[in-house]
Each structure stands twice: as C-alpha cells, then as structure tokens.
C-alpha cells in the first residue's frame, strides 16, 4: 500500500482515501514522526474529523489519542481497529534540536538577525542640524532613528546646513554646501569588521550627478581612510565591497572628527587632504568604529542620502534547512525601517534584509526599486510604524498591539500600482524539494471606494512567473468604516518544483489597483515548508 504522507506531515491532509479502506495519518511532533493508522469506512465527514483531530494534535498535544475524535466517527466493527505507531526520523534530527530552533527564531522573526552591521536609515520626526553653515556644530544624536551620533563640516562658509530631515527621512546636503570639502561622519559606539558599504542616493533634481568618497576610521589606530571618488545618482542603490575600490589615507589636521560625543565648542574643521590610493589590504584595517561621506563634487541642487549601512555579515535568502518544517516570517521585529543587504538593523527602526526581499513599483523620489542584496532605504521603503490609517505610499510596520506587527502596503495611484514584493528562498537541505507549502494571513483597511488586488505567483528564475489564482485577494470596491480587519488566510501547495539542494526559488506578491488612493493591505505570518515524496510500504491490514 502506497501512502503519500508529505502533506499529512504538516497536518494539511490527514489521509489519502482509496474507497472503502483505511488510511494513514502523519503529523510532525517534536522529534518524532507519528503515524496514526485508523481503519474506518471513509467519508468526507470522517475525513474532516480526522483533519480537525490532526490540527488539534499539532496545536495542543505532542501525542494524542484518536479518542479525541467524535464518537460518531468510530467504527463499530471489531475488525476495524486503530493503532498508534511512532517512528523516529532516521536523518536530519540534529537540525531539529534546540540550537536550530533558536537559530530559526532569530533568523525569521522579521527576516532579520542581529549582527554588528551598523545601519542608519534616518527615520524620525523633525530636523536635526549636523552643521550650521559658518558655525560648525558638535555632533547631534539623531533621535527616533538609530540613536547613532553624527557630526559634519559645511564647506563654503555660507548659510546652509547638513541636516537629518524627518519629513523625508534623509541626510540632506543642501545645495549651498553640496560642494567639495563638506562631510558628515557617524560615531558607531561599536566596531564593525566591514565588508561592504551600502547607500541609497536620493536627490531633488532628476539626473543630478554627485561624486562622493566613503570615509572609515580604523578602530585600532584611529587613522581615517577615504575611498576613491564614487559617482552616485538620485534614486539609485549602491553596494560597494571595500575590496572593490582603492583607499587613501586622510590627513585630519586640526579637525575634531576623532573626538566626541560631546565635542568641545571648537566644532569641526576641514579635512587636511588625501594621500595616494592603494588597496584595502594596504590600509591594515580589521575593523572600523566610525564612517562617513565626503563630498568630492556636488550637483546643481541638494543631495540626499536616504540610508547607509556598513556591512559585516551579508544577508542571505530565507534558508530552508529541514524538509517538512514550517518557516514562518511573523514581522514582529519589523519596524518599517527599509531593507538592508547586511543582516544587522537599527535598534529602533528595524528593517528587513534584502538578501530575502526585493521590491519595485514606487515612483519619482520615493524610488523605483531595489534588487536582492541591494539597499532599499528610499522614502517609501521605510515608512516606520503605524496603527492608524495612512495616505502616503510605502511600506509600513503595522502595530496590532501586544508586540504583534505586520507588513503594511499603502498603494496610491502612482505607487505600487502596479508593484511587486518578492521573497527569495534557498534549499539548504540535502534533498530535492518537490513541493513548497506556502501560506499567509491578510488584513485590510477598506477605506477607499475602489478595489485593489494583491495576486501571487512563483518562479524558479525570477523571470517567468506562474500565477496561483487561489492565493489572490482583492479588496471590496465599496468602502466601509470597519478599520483594519482580518480578511482571511491563503495557502497553496506548489508542486513539481524539483528544487535541488543549493537552488533558490522566488515567491512574489503583485499589486494592482485604481489610479487613485487605494486600500491598505497588511501581510502577516508568511509560512513556507519544503516537502519531498515519502513512500510507506509493508503495512498489513489485519
């Protein structure tokens, strides 16, 4: 007798009916596969009862008894008896221990894990001046953001400031000081074995060119180094491995860039110049404790840096390390802080990692898109936390209260209409996965008089996507005043995948709606499980 227990292992299908015969149910409980062999005259009603029982076992008991089933579903025939059999899993048990469970929890709470990467996404309210024109001020702490300290020097001696602008969530080099010699620097309060620097560039004038140098300080010698000049343009994400560019020593002269916080009343001074360029290895840097941005050649208007990350550990796709195991992204650590290619995050405005996520569909200075492994710190990618209705387009963390958060999408006529949000996963098991079980919860604030659709598709190459209509959702066309409400769960089994060990796969949400303000949609409790065929044989019906 051949029983397909792949789905039963997750409590999705209790038995595979074959006429008037018995079935075998399997679900995963702690370190055991538990098989229930229950002989009965099969019917849809009894199948539903079995499914309900398996669900009860998965959510309440490690091993329960079939007596939990309604009495009406037990057969009265003496030849139709039930048995309980347990069998230990023969391989992969180590991955199911407490260490793996802890690692899984850390990695999936919101798709991020704490690390020593240093991230500044400039989220907060109000403005913080880092430098006041001719009066060069001491470093400021950018409250409500990363709590990092920033200082800066404004070249040119004219009225103008380097500031953190809360409205636009950017570090702004205003046009009067967007000139050679202006710089801003960040005091980490920790050290980072930096591997790369990620930056999202944003400007006022379309096509404005900008040339910058990255600044870093050796945490051991306290020497400063500057990268070769790098060209950046508005709205573009930049990821620069430190070994991919040349570095020059910086003469700081009398500058107080090495002091603070707080600095004395003298304020910041110009940098003294740059030495000859050489390789990263020649710097002798093993870790840094400060970093910054130096303006080599400014554009015709303001230049905005909407996020920067000094990366020690690279973000990766969602790792599937064990088959028949549920991997859940509950967004409870997410605070609407954008997307970074490092695994670390701001302590307050936590984001997601772009090793797992990419997005496209926002317009103009909200930014168009970021790909996997690129920084996504543009304005619409990091709208922060809300628990009320919003109107500005972007990605928010929705606060359900009690430590429960979801991923909120606010589309408008020009933004995320259409748009895509894509999750990348990787098969890190030793088996070829034939199926993925994918599910998610959806909430909606139906406060606009038009319908917005969120559809689902999947792909092996991130080019050709297969739609799954059963996973789609559309908000009602007629608005209501119910506020944010649960709109249901969607789930599907994606079959015939042949996902080899080491291969990646893509799961995509596609948004489309009216060219007007649209309803808010919240995604939560995204769950993925990888399955392989399981054949059971040698069972004898007595």
Answer whether residue 215 shows pLDDT above 90: yes
pLDDT band at 343; cut points 50, 70, 90: low
- Mean pLDDT value across residues 514-538: 84
pLDDT: is 87 or 471 the higher one?
Answer: 471
- Cβ-contact 407, 523 below 8 angstroms: yes
Average pLDDT, the chain: 74
Which residue ranges make up each domain of the chain? 3-90, 118-311, 318-531
Query: Can the peptide bond before residue 418 be classed as cis, meaning omega within 30 degrees of 0?
Result: yes
| Rounded Cα gap, residues 215 and 296, in angstroms | 12
Summarize the confidence of residues 448-453 as an average pLDDT: 92
CB 100 within 8 A of CB 92: no
Is the fold of 118-311 the same as that of 318-531?
yes
Provide the pLDDT for residue 254. 65
- Position 208 scores a pLDDT of 55
| CB neighbour class for 229 (10 Å; exposed up to 12, middle 13-18, buried from 19) | middle
Q: For 387, list phi and psi in degrees, rounded to 5.
A: -135, 20
Over 312-338, what HEC string results?
CCECCCEEECCCCCCEEECCCCCCCCC
CATH topology of domain 118-311: Jelly Rolls (2.60.120)
Q: Is the CATH number of domain 318-531 3.40.50.300?
A: no
Of 86-95, 334-343, 398-407, 529-538, least confident by mean pLDDT is 86-95
DSSP 29-46: ETTEEEEEEE-----HHH
Per-residue CA distances from 356 to 261, 401, 527 (Å): 36, 26, 14
Nearest to 392, CA basis, from 205, 217, 228, 518: 518
Question: What token pair was written down for 497?
Answer: 């995948």
Alpha-carbon span 70 to 117, nearest angstrom: 54
Q: Which residues contact 95 (CB under 8 A, 6 or more apart)?
A: 321, 322
pLDDT > 70 fraction of the chain, expressed in percent and rounded: 66
> Region 234-260: what's the mean pLDDT?
85
- Nearest one of 242, 244, 246 to 228, comparing CA atoms: 246
Q: Quick one: how many helices (H) and strands (E) in the chain?
A: 3, 38
How far apart, in whole angstroms, are the C-alpha atoms of residue 343 and residue 113?
Answer: 6
pLDDT above 70 for 66: no
pLDDT recorded at residue 356: 94
Taking only the tens place, the pLDDT of each residue in 179-207 is 899 898 888 888 999 999 999 887 655 55
CA atoms within 13 A on the CB side of 196: 18
The pLDDT tens digits for 69-81 are 333 333 333 333 2
Distances (CA, A) of 203 to 163, 208, 508: 14, 7, 29
Q: The whole model's pTM is what?
A: 0.72
Question: Residue 367: its pLDDT value, please?
Answer: 54
**Neighbour tally for 458: CB within 10 Å:** 20
* Under 8 Å between Cβ of 217 and 286: no
Measured CA to CA, the distance from residue 282 to residue 189 in angstroms comes to 25
Contact predicate 225/278, CB 8 Å: no
Residue-wise DSSP of 70-103: -GGGS---TT--EEEEEEE-SS-GGGGSHHHHHH
The residues near 244 (Cβ < 8 Å, ≥ 6 apart) are: none
């Amino acid at each position: 007798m051949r029983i397909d227990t792949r789905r039963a292992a997750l409590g999705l299908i209790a038995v595979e009916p074959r006429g008037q015969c018995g079935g075998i149910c399997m679900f995963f409980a702690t370190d055991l596969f538990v098989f229930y062999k229950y002989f009965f005259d099969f019917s849809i009603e009894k199948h539903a009862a079995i499914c309900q029982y398996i669900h009860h076992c998965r959510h309440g008991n490690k091993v329960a008894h079939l007596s939990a089933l309604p009495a009406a579903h037990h057969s009265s025939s003496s030849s139709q008896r039930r048995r309980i059999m347990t069998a230990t899993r023969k391989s992969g048990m180590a991955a199911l221990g407490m260490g793996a469970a802890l690692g899984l929890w850390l990695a999936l709470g919101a798709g991020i894990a704490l690390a020593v990467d240093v991230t500044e996404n400039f989220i907060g309210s109000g403005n913080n001046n880092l430098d006041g024109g001719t009066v060069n001020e001491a470093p400021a702490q950018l409250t409500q953001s990363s709590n990092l300290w920033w200082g800066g020097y404004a070249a040119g001696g004219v009225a103008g400031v380097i500031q953190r602008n809360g409205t636009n969530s950017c570090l702004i080099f205003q046009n009067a000081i967007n000139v050679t010699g202006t710089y801003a620097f960040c005091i980490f309060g920790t050290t980072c074995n930096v591997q790369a620097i990620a930056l999202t560039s944003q400007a006022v004038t379309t096509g404005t060119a900008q040339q910058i140098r990255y600044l870093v300080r050796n945490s051991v010698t306290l020497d400063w180094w500057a990268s070769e000049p790098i060209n950046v343009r508005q709205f573009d994400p930049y990821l620069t491995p430190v070994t991919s560019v040349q570095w020059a020593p910086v003469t700081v002269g009398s500058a107080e860039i090495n002091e603070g916080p707080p600095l004395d009343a003298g304020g910041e001074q110009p940098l003294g110049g740059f030495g000859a360029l050489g390789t990263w290895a020649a710097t002798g840097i093993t870790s840094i404790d400060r970093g910054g941005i130096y303006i080599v050649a400014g554009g015709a208007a303001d230049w905005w840096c909407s996020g920067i990350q000094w990366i020690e550990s690279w973000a990766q796709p969602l790792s599937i390390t064990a088959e028949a195991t549920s991997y859940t992204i509950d967004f409870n650590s997410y605070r609407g802080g954008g997307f970074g290619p490092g695994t670390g995050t701001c302590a307050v405005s936590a984001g997601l990692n772009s090793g797992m996520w990419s997005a496209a569909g926002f317009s103009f200075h909200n930014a168009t898109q970021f790909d996997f492994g690129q920084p996504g710190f543009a304005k619409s990618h990091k709208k922060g936390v809300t628990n009320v209705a919003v109107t500005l387009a972007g990605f928010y963390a929705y606060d359900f209260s009690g430590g429960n958060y979801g991923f909120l999408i606010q589309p408008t006529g020009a933004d995320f209409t259409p748009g895509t949000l894509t999750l990348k996963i990787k098969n890190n098991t030793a088996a070829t996965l034939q199926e993925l079980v994918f599910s998610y919860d959806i909430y909606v604030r139906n406060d606009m008089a038009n319908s917005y659709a969120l559809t689902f598709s999947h792909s092996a190459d991130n080019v050709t996507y297969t739609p799954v209509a059963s996973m789609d959702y559309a908000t009602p066309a007629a608005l209501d005043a119910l506020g944010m409400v649960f709109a249901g769960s969607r789930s599907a089994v994606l079959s015939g995948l042949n996902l080899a060990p080491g291969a990646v796969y893509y799961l995509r949400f596609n948004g489309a709606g009216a060219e007007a303000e649209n309803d808010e949609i919240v995604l939560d409790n995204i769950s993925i499980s990888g399955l392989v065929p399981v054949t059971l044989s040698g069972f004898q019906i007595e």
